[in-house]
Amino acid sequence: MPDGPFGVGIPWKEWRAPTGGVYSYLARKSIGGGRELLLYEPTEAGSKRFVLLCDGSIEEWSESKIYQTLED
């Protein structure tokens, strides 16, 4: 996985969400791990956002669950 949205090989336009804003990516994590948060939609997506977990699953989380996970 890249070190961040400016990593090589992924064009900047791919980091833009359809709702506006940029996906938030937690660098230094990798696919194939546990159920840790890897990427989530920007605030423009609303109070419910899609997230990508390290195990490759995609789920819809509340904004509060995202923020709580980030604080832990």
Q: Does residue 60 surpass a pLDDT of 80?
A: yes
Answer yes or no: are the C-beta atoms of 53 and 37 closer than 8 Å: yes
Choose between 68 and 33: higher pLDDT. Answer: 68
In the chain, count of helices (H) and strands (E)? 1, 4
Q: Does the pLDDT value for residue 1 go beyond 60? A: no
| Residue 24, H or E segment | strand 24-25
pTM for this model (two decimals): 0.80
